Amino acid sequence: MGENAISGNLKNLTIDTKDSENLVVCFGEMLIDFVPTVGGVSLAEAPAFKKAPGGAPANVAVGVSRLGGSSAFIGKVGDDEFGRMLADILRLNNVDNSGMRFDHNARTALAFVTLRADGEREFLFFRHPSADMLLLESELDKNLIQKAKIFHYGSISLIEEPCRSTQLAAMKIAKASGSLLSYDPNLRLPLWPSEDAAKKEIMSIWNLADVIKVSEDEITFLTGGDDPYDDDVVLQKLFHPDLKLLVVSEGPNGCRYYTQEFKGRVGGVKVKPVDTTGAGDSFVSGLLNSLASDSTLLKDEKKLREALLFANACGAITVTERGAIPAMPSMDAVQNLLSSSSAPRS
C-alpha cells in the first residue's frame, strides 16, 4: 500500500482490499449519531444521548460484510477521536477502510436524531462544514474504485463542493471500469438549502445509475406529490432507459420492483419492531450482496424475487434491535428467519 493510501496518522487502521471479484464499494458520509437514551422524546426533552456510528453508505458496507460479502468504504472523517473510532469500527467489521481520508481541520460530522412520541423523526446536524463534505477528487483511491463490482452511493455528498465533484468523478471512474452503479438517494431534507435544491441535485445523477432504491416518501417528493403506489407514476417519471432495476421499499410491507422486462411486488417479513434505524440500509446491503455474487438475477425474475425477499428479511431483522450497524444481520440469521413460518413465499 502506497504512502498516499491514507492521510493523517492512522495507517494502523487500514486493511488490505480483499481479493474478491464481488467487491461492493460504498461512497459517502460516515458520522456519529447521538440517540436519546429513552424513546419517544424530542431532542430538547432527552435526558441523555448515546453515541452510535451512522451514515447510510457506511451502514451498507458493514451490512454486506456481515452477510459474508466483500465491501469497502470511501469517505472522509475528521482527524479526531470520533473519526478514528469510525475507521476502527469498519476495520472490526471486516470492511476495507483504506479509502478513508482524515481531515486535520474539519471535525467528524455529528447528528442528533430522535423518534418523537408522535412517530416523527427529528434531526439536528452539526456539519459546518464537517470532514465528509471536504473529500477532494485528488484524495480518491482510484484503484479501489476500479475493483468495484458494485459502486454504491447516495445524494448527501451532492449538497456541497468539493464533495459533489468528487462523487461525480468517483462515479465516472466506476462506470468506466464496468462497475454496476447503485443509488439510494436517502433524502435528508434538513441538510439541503431548499427542497428545490434537493430535488434538482438528486435527479441530476438519476440517469447514471444502473440500480436505484427509493422509498415511498421519496417518490412523493421527487414527483411533486404524485401517488407513490401508482405504477404509471414510477415508470413514467422515475424509470430511465438505461436503468436495470428500480426498487421501491415499503418498510414492513416489503418492496416493489421494476425492470425493463418485468415488475412485481415481494411481501415483507413480519417481526416485532424495536427501532427502524438502518432498516433501509440493511435492505440495500442484502440486495447488493446478492447482486454482487450473481448479476444474472437482473434478468431472471424468479432469482430477483428471491433476492428481494432476502433483502426484506435483512431489513426486518435490523428493526428488531437498536441501532444500525449493531443490528446488521449475519447470513445465518437471515436464513433462519426465512426458514421460519413468518416469511412469505417468494
pLDDT at 121 over 80: no
CA dist 22 and 47 (Å) reads 44
The pLDDT of residue 305 is: 98
- Taking the C-alpha atoms of residue 285 and residue 283, their distance in angstroms, rounded to an integer, is 6
Say yes or no to pLDDT of 221 above 70: yes
Q: Please identify every residue annotated as catalytic.
A: 281
The x, y and z cell numbers of residue 14, run together, are: 487500514
Q: Which of 197, 194, 199, 195 is nearest to 214 (CA)?
A: 199
Confidence band, pLDDT 50/70/90 cuts, at residue 344: low
Segment 139-162 shows an average pLDDT of 98
- Specify whether the CB–CB gap between 103 and 97 falls below 8 A: no
Distance of CA 60 to the CA centre of its chain: 5
Would you say 24 and 31 are in contact if contact means Cβ atoms under 8 Å apart? no
State the SS3 of 15-75. Answer: CCCCCCCCCEEEECCCEEEEEECCCECCCCCCCCEEEEEECHHHHHHHHHHHCCCCEEEEE
Q: 123-127, 172-176, 261-265, 341-345: which range is least confident on average?
A: 341-345
**Residue 318 is which amino acid?**
T
Tens-place pLDDT, residues 224-269: 999 999 999 999 999 999 999 999 999 999 999 999 999 999 999 9
C-alpha cell at 82: 470520533
Q: What is the pLDDT of residue 124?
A: 93
Q: So what's the pLDDT on residue 112? A: 94
Model pLDDT, residue 39: 83
